[in-house]
Homo-oligomer: A and B are copies of this chain.
């Protein structure tokens, strides 16, 4: 249950305040040049303390690859990796040792396992998504070579929302601002909203969009391995995610078929599109659960972070009413740091289905 994927798999371990977080990537194709700087760069995009609107926890998050790479290339053997936890302030959590924090996993973990590591949320901490970024970076190294590119960006924070779709933005601007939004003006507004929410000890949710370009036709496996079902499962496994939609999504539920169908046209480029062009892309690049060669795009909803820097009412482990005041260092909004996680999960999913698709016929 701590393993993701079928052929390209990631198994993870680690807690917020344990010795280290890390994982094992299995099924990495052999012969891929492993660019360790690229992996570290991806981690830097997820790193705490990267700007004034993220948590103050400061960690270098330096990854060590322990296996599976020889003379700079993947060997086909599993790639073990870890990142040491170096900046835990476990004492900050002493006061919640016997409390259940509202809307956190404290209560459910304790009920399920009869024990919980209360320090920083333990296994339920978003810190463990770090391993996904490492594995996602490895997957990206393979996908880049296949001409597949994945880009996520912050589309909404609270009530501030982009009003155009991804075609109308310069996606290269995403990492140029701390919220990772391709609209510089909206990015500024989002940043200010997050700063304000933070100053109030509160938190805020939002929506991230993701687009995948260059996917070949044929990824995804019916009936239960439909590509969007796999992408959805991947996204919903990220901490604080509450919803997933692709193509026209929920909004398209009120459309008619005659509006939403995508018409096939004769091809104008037999190299890229051997059989046909597709006029519109309401389908989001996936039809019948299988990629159709068009851009794949989807949206992911995040709830506001549950940790508030204000007094909240709760109960303790004896079931008695009490109040709590959280210390610790927390993100007022997870979206800026979640962008690389979304990309990582998408990359792993696409690579996994790409590998499986090689076995569909001889």
Given contacts A236-B226, A256-B197, contact A76 B7 (CB under 8 A): no
A337 to B275, CA, bound (A): 34
Whether B253 contacts A244 by the Cβ 8 Å rule is no
Binary contact readout A221-252 vs B (1 if CB under 8 angstroms, 0 otherwise): 11111101110110011000011111111101
Q: Which residues of A in the span 2-44 have a Cβ within 8 Å of any Cβ on B?
A: 2-4, 7, 9, 11-15, 18-24, 26-27, 29-31
Q: Which residues of B contact A207 (CB under 8 A)?
A: 250, 253
Tell whether, in the assembled complex, residue A308 and residue B261 are in contact, meaning their CB atoms are under 8 Å apart. yes
Q: Quick one: copies of this chain in the complex? A: 4
Contact, CB under 8 Å: A223 / B128:
yes
Contact B275 A319 (CB under 8 A): yes
Residues in B whose Cβ lies below 8 Å from that of A264:
100, 102, 107, 313-315
Stretch in A50-58, A162-170, A172-180, A297-305 touching the partner: A297-305
A314-333 contacts to B (CB < 8 Å): 314-315, 317, 319-321
Instruction: Tell which of B19, B104, B113, B221 touches A361, judged by Cβ atoms closer than 8 Å.
Output: B113
Please name all residues of chain B whose beta carbon is closer than 8 Å to the beta carbon of A218 when the two chains form the complex. Answer: 108, 111-112
Beta-carbon contacts of A282-312 to B below 8 Å, as 1s and 0s?
1110011111110000010111111110101
A9 B20 Cβ-Cβ under 8 A: no
Kindly report which residue of chain B lies nearest to residue A317, judged by CB atoms: B275
In the complex, chain A residues 265-293 whose Cβ is within 8 Å of any chain B Cβ: 265-267, 270, 274-276, 282-284, 287-293
Measured CA separation A78–B123 after assembly (Å)? 9
Q: How far is the CA of A267 from the CA of B111 in the complex (A)?
A: 14
Chain A 47-89 against B: per-residue CB contact (8 Å), 1 yes, 0 no? 0000000000000000011111010010111111010000000
- Which 3 residue pairs spanning A and B have beta carbons closest together? A105-B288, A13-B80, A243-B245
Extra 12 A-B pairs, beta carbons < 8 Å, given A1-B27, A261-B312, A359-B359: A1-B225, A111-B275, A124-B289, A158-B253, A205-B253, A206-B253, A228-B236, A242-B247, A243-B245, A257-B305, A263-B314, A266-B320
